[in-house]
Amino acid sequence: MRDMMGRIQNLEDAIADLKGDKESKMEDVEEEMSKDAPLKSRTVKEEFSDVAVAPIKHSPEKKSTNSNNGFNISPNRIPTVLDRVLARLNK
């Protein structure tokens, strides 16, 4: 029983030492932070000013939308009702 009490006391002492070390380290960190200049927050403009990106250019000229280049599939077939409706819609 005395052996167990001795072990418990040793553990308590070790824990107290660790807590003391941790508290002293925290105090050191707080002192260093107080010595440094106050932190400056960066804005979005400053954040992305480092990245160089080429501007996007838009050309409003209409390009050829005819992807089949004059090739007609089954040009002699009889148009259906759907073909006539779509032809009127696409005028």
Distance, in Å, from the CA atom of 85 to the CA atom of 91, rounded to the nearest integer, reads: 10
Determine the average pLDDT of the residues in 3-17: 89
**Predicted local distance difference test score (pLDDT) of residue 84:** 92
**Predicted local distance difference test score (pLDDT) of residue 63:** 64
Q: How many residues does the chain have?
A: 91
pLDDT greater than 60 at residue 66: no
Determine the average pLDDT of the residues in 8-36: 81
Cα 76 from chain centroid?
Answer: 55
**R_g (Cα) of the chain, nearest Å:** 39
Q: Is this structure's pTM higher than 0.75?
A: no
Output the DSSP codes for 18-80. Answer: HHHHHHHHHHHHHHHHHHSPPP-PPPHHHHHTTS--PPP----PPPP--TTTT--SSTTSPP-
Res. 44 pLDDT band, cuts 50 70 90? low
**Predicted local distance difference test score (pLDDT) of residue 25:** 79
